[in-house]
Amino acid sequence: MKTLTIRRPDDWHLHLRDGEVLKGVIADTSAHFARAIIMPNLVPPVVTTSDAAAYRERIMAALPSGHRFEPLMTLYLTEHTNPDDVEAGKKSGLIHAVKLYPAGATTNSHGGVRNLEKVMPVLERMAKIGLPLCVHGEVTTPEVDIFDREAVFIETVLEPLRKRLPELKVTMEHVTTSDGVNYIKSSKANLAGSITTHHLIINRNDILVGGIKPHYYCLPVAKRESHRLALRAAATSGDSRFFLGTDSAPHLDPLKECACGCAGIYTSVNTMSCLAHVFEDEGALNKLEAFASLNGPAWYGLAANEQTMTLTKQETQVSFPSKRDTAAGLITVFDPGFPLFWNVTG
Ligand code: DOR
Ligand code: ZN
């Protein structure tokens, strides 16, 4: 049996939802992760510091007793966001980032940003106070092919914005392409990227070949194999600009298994087992700690966790529930498509 002990990991991009779904999923995160950056795309979204404070209380109330977990709250950027409220949120220690959803890019993003010009005062204030902008990096222009939307976003939105406001810290979330990886690697400062578990494992064939697999559909959508390989190389390189953001995004099964299924893959349950498998495959188990536990806190200006996590490679396959049963209904757990042998044992 092989074991690996790392600092306790954090998740730098997580959807916890609200109500019964929140209650049904939170333990899957808090069992393994000390902290997580909490996405604000609720209905209605988490727009103000007071919305975020109230949401944080609902999260803490849903936490099982005995679990220690710190939700790192974010604000959903709108064209009406008030820079003073953002600054007050950061100063109070509650707000750790602001999230930019281009309007229409993904789940509950219709209240997002249509015209970047309108949010420049907020972005300028964030640059001044050192608050990171988390970016859903896809254009929504109908003429742009869905598989090209990340690359076009980098060229037409992100690079011009970063030229205009070089002091703004930007997290390119859920990077899915070699274009994204190369762009992050080429930047000298103030740019980092999170990578999901599932984008290290699936490519677009997994979604489409042999029948459509709604539980592999997420946004940004998984790309061709060469992109998956670029993501694996970046994640396992130890480069401090890349870190884990699972983008674990639970949707009830009927909302995914239908004619117009929602985007999102629920990976919180087995992410650490999947990652250990991927890093071992790449001969890079010694880089898992950097990716899951060190690079993220360094980017967000926080200390790495003092506690540790031990992973053990078992002789027999580790079994995970295939569905998470919540009071609101069933949520399918990510199936990596191969047996898992690494288990979280301490
Ligand atoms: O697949 C996704 N699901 N991508 C996102 O950007 C949003 C998320 C969700 O909220 O379901
Ligand atoms: Zn997300």
pLDDT band at 62 (very low <50, low <70, confident <90, very high): very high
Q: Can you give the residue ranges of every domain in the chain?
A: 9-304
Q: How far is the CA of 219 from the centre of ligand 1 (A)?
A: 6
Going by their DSSP bridges, the two strands 308-313 and 2-7 should be labelled as antiparallel
List the residue whose alpha carbon is closest to atom 2 of ligand 1.
264
According to DSSP, the residues that pair with 113 across neighbouring strands are 102
- What span, in angstroms and rounded, lies between the C-alpha atoms of 202 and 200? 6
pLDDT value, residue 104: 87
pLDDT band at 107 (very low <50, low <70, confident <90, very high): confident
* pLDDT, tens digit (0-9, with 9 covering 90-100), for 198-217: 999 999 999 999 999 999 99
pTM above 0.75, yes or no: yes
Going by their DSSP bridges, the two strands 191-195 and 170-172 should be labelled as parallel
* pLDDT, tens digit (0-9, with 9 covering 90-100), for 270-311: 999 999 999 999 999 999 999 999 999 999 999 999 999 999
| DSSP state letters, 284-301 | -GGGHHIIIIIHHHHHTT
List the residue whose alpha carbon is closest to atom 7 of ligand 1.
107
CA torsion sign for 143, 40, 248, 342 is: positive
| Helical pair 49-62 and 83-91, crossing angle rounded to 10 deg | 40
pLDDT of 328 strictly over 80: yes
Task: Compute how many other C-beta atoms are within 10 angstroms of the C-beta atom of residue 240.
Answer: 14
Q: Give yes or no for residue 234 CB within 6 A of ligand 1.
A: no
Surrounding ion ligand 2 within 5 Å at CB are: 247
* 3.20.20.140, 3.40.980.10, 3.30.70.141, 3.90.1010.10: CATH of 9-304: 3.20.20.140
**Is 247 part of the annotated catalytic residue set?**
yes
3-state secondary structure of 186: helix
Q: How far is the CA of 140 from the centre of ligand 1 (A)?
A: 14
CA angle 243, 193, 339 (to 5 degrees): 50
Q: Which two tokens stand for residue 119?
A: 């949010």
Contact between 29 and 333 under an 8 Å Cβ cutoff? The reply is no
Q: Give yes or no for residue 22 CB within 6 A of ligand 1.
A: no
List the residue whose alpha carbon is closest to atom 8 of ligand 1.
264
